Every structure is written in structure tokens, then in C-alpha cells.
């Protein structure tokens, strides 16, 4: 019997216990799923960073730690974690990120705020077609590529930027430091879908924000530290940035006195772009346990040196 420890906080147990059990059954696994085991008995840990479990050393037979979240910045630095760490790549989460990003891109593209503000005046305004509105996505991983595909289907010319070189159909791909400048130079809308690592911290700072064309819009569902907040506020006040939609912040919840709340050209959303969906995510976890038991390679293993 496989012993799977659910270390993701008691509040999530009610949501995850039955989809996980069903997914284990569906994968043909005989597994005992609990919130409490003697550490030396545990085969797999299903994990969320808010859990009390911070010392992985007693989990001597644990074959993998299966993170419930896509982002792993809160766990990659944990020196006690020597077991393989798998991050979450969940079709439900990906779909919700695609919907959120597409919605906010279309809000900017169609100037929806303008129509809402002009409810008492007849001022016809014809937005350009999507093909005239270049969008750049920073980060071409699971989520960046899925959003790029959806936006390309709508007709937007999409550029992307990643660490390593890529050749993706229908996308203009850039990489490395020089590539960032090219990726930003033509972007009317920029979407950040990078992980939080030492290399991506403040990737949008006063220097790189200056590469954007006048009137650019920024959408950040990635992580707060990707943006130098003071530099963004300056770029909003004196250009080139016209508006920013921010879902993630250095400190969450965003402190009440943070200037983003009151800024007329910032939209704050409370880290809701894409939540892990228990039904689909449970199947991903079960598949990884099945692989572990069959001696196959785990899916979505985090490279701890790279940080994602």
C-alpha cells in the first residue's frame, strides 16, 4: 500500500481528498491518503508551501514531493528537501490562465474601459484589429505557450521571450538579454509569465520599461518580484506605460497603503489568475505516483539550480 501524505493545509483537505482518492483508483494505485503519517513511512508528499511541513529530512523513504502549485519559489531554496520536487502542470489551471490573460488582453485591445466610462456620450471609436496589436509574452513555458496559442488564434501577432532559444510555429521567439529588448520594443501589450528566480527578479525595471513603446500596457499574472514597483509607478506617471493589470505582488495580500490600490491606471486582482483545479490536478498527481511506482521518470521535475 502506497502511503501518500497530504501536506497542503487542513483547509484544502476537504477539496482534494475525494478527487485524489478517485484519481488514485483511476490510475490503478492502492494508496492510503492521509494528513498524518510517521515521516519514515511516507512514500509521496502532496505539498503546498503554506503547509507546516518545512523539514523534509525525516521523510527518508519519500520518493517525490508533488507540489500542488505551478510556482515553486517558496520551496526551491529549502535545503532539507533532497527528494525530487515536481511542480504542478494542470490542464484546468492552464485553461484558467488562458481565459484570464485573454480577457485582460481583450479589455485593453477593445478599450473596454473607455466604453464603460463614456456611457452618456455618443463618441464612436473603432479599435484596430487584433492583427495590428502586437502582444509580447515573457515566459514561454506551459502557461506562456498556452496563452500565446490562444492569442495567435484570435489574430494577435505574438512575440515571446524565454531563457533558451525556441522555434515555435506562429510565434516570434526571442531569448537572452538582447532578445528581451527586441521582444519589448514592439509590444503594445506585455504579459509576464515567468517564474520567480534570482535571474527574473526586476526583469521589468527602469531600464527595460524604457524599451517599451509609448502607451504600452502590462499584465502580470506571473509573480510580484518580476517588476520593480517603483520603476513601474514612474513609467505609469511619465511614460511609456499607459496601464498595468497586476495579479501578483511582492507582499500578498497587497498592503492597504500600497500606491497600486489608488493609482488610476492600475488594476489590482487578488492572485486569482489561475488556481489549481482539484479534479484535473489530482489526475496529474496520480500519474506521477504511478510513474514513480513503475520506475518511470517523473513529470514536471523542478531543476533546483535553475529555480523552476
Cell readout for 213 is 513603446
Q: Which residue is nearest to ligand NDP (CB)?
A: 141
Residue closer to ligand NDP by CB (options 63, 163) is 163
* Smallest separation (angstroms) from ligand NDP to the CB of 68: 11
Least Å distance between CB 103 and ligand NDP? Answer: 13
CA distance linking residue 308 with residue 298, whole number of Å: 15
Is-catalytic flag, 271?
yes
Nearer to ligand NDP, 141 or 240 (CB): 141
Determine the Cα–Cα distance for residues 135 and 160; give it in Å rounded to an integer. Answer: 8
How many Å apart are CA 4 and CA 265, to the nearest integer?
A: 47
Q: Sign of the CA dihedral 72, 76, 77, 78?
A: positive
Q: Which residues pair with 216 in a beta bridge?
A: 241
DSSP codes, 92-127 = HHHHHHHHHHHHHHHHHHTTHHHHHHTTTS-----P
Buried residues in 23-42 as b, exposed as e (16+ CB within 10 A): bbeebebebebeeebebeeb
Chain contacts with ligand NDP (rule: CB under 6 A): 70-71, 93, 139-144, 161-164, 193-197, 199-200, 221-223, 247-248, 271, 273-274, 308
CB of 143 or CB of 212, closer to ligand NDP: 143
Closer of 58 and 253 to ligand NDP (Cβ): 253
CA distance 91 to 168: 20
Q: Which is nearer to ligand NDP, 157 or 221 (CB)?
A: 221
- How many whole angstroms separate alpha carbon 108 and alpha carbon 103? 9
Which residue's CB is nearer to ligand NDP, number 31 or number 283? 283
- How many C-beta atoms lie closer than 10 Å to residue 255's C-beta? 11
Q: Determine which one of 175, 271, 291, 304 is catalytic.
A: 271
Nearest-approach distance from CB 221 to ligand NDP, in angstroms: 4
- Concerning whether 217 is annotated as a catalytic residue, the answer is no
Cβ at position 140, least distance to ligand NDP in Å: 4
Closest CB 165 distance from ligand NDP, rounded Å? 8
Q: CB of residue 94 vs ligand NDP: minimum separation in angstroms?
A: 8
**Annotated catalytic residue within 223, 243, 277, 283:** 223
* Cβ proximity to ligand NDP, 5 vs 88, nearer residue: 88
Burial profile 179-189: b = 16 or more Cβ within 10 angstroms, e = fewer: bbebbbebbbb
Cα separation of 29 and 13, whole Å? 19
Q: Which residue has the cell 492552464?
A: 94
Shortest distance, CB of residue 73 to ligand NDP, whole angstroms? 7
User: What sign does the dihedral 128-174-304-283 (CA atoms) show?
Assistant: positive
As annotated, the active-site residues are 223, 271
Amino acid at each position: 500500500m502506497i502511503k501518500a501524505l497530504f501536506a497542503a493545509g487542513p483547509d484544502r483537505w476537504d477539496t482534494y481528498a475525494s478527487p485524489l482518492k478517485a484519481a488514485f483508483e483511476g490510475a490503478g494505485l492502492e494508496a492510503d491518503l492521509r494528513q498524518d503519517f510517521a515521516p519514515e513511512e511516507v512514500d509521496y508528499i502532496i505539498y503546498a508551501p503554506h503547509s507546516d511541513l518545512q523539514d523534509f529530512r525525516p521523510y527518508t523513504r519519500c520518493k517525490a514531493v508533488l507540489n500542488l502549485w505551478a510556482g515553486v519559489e517558496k520551496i526551491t531554496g529549502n535545503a532539507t528537501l533532497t527528494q525530487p520536487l515536481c511542480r504542478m502542470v494542470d490542464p484546468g489551471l492552464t485553461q484558467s490562465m488562458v481565459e484570464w490573460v485573454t480577457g485582460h488582453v481583450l479589455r485593453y485591445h477593445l478599450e473596454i474601459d473607455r466604453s464603460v466610462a463614456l456611457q452618456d456620450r455618443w463618441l464612436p471609436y473603432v479599435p484596430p484589429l487584433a492583427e495590428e496589436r502586437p502582444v509580447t509574452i515573457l515566459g514561454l513555458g506551459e502557461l506562456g505557450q498556452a496563452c500565446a496559442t490562444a492569442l495567435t488564434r484570435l489574430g494577435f501577432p505574438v512575440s515571446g521571450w524565454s531563457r533558451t532559444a525556441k522555434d515555435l510555429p506562429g510565434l516570434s521567439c526571442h531569448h537572452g538579454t538582447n532578445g528581451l529588448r527586441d521582444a519589448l520594443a514592439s509590444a503594445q501589450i506585455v504579459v509576464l509569465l515567468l517564474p520567480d528566480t534570482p535571474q527574473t527578479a526586476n526583469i521589468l525595471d527602469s531600464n527595460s520599461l524604457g524599451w517599451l513603446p509609448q502607451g504600452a500596457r502590462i499584465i502580470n499574472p506571473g509573480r510580484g518580484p518580476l517588476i520593480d514597483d517603483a520603476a513601474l509607478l514612474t513609467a505609469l506617471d511619465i511614460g511609456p506605460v499607459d496601464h498595468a493589470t497586476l495579479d501578483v505582488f511582492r507582499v500578498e495580500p497587497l498592503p492597504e497603503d500600497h500606491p497600486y490600490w489608488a493609482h488610476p491606471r492600475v488594476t489590482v486582482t487578488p492572485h486569482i489568475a489561475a488556481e489549481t483545479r482539484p479534479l484535473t490536478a489530482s489526475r496529474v498527481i496520480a500519474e506521477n505516483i504511478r510513474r514513480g511506482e513503475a520506475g518511470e521518470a517523473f513529470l514536471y521535475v523542478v531543476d533546483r539550480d535553475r529555480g523552476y
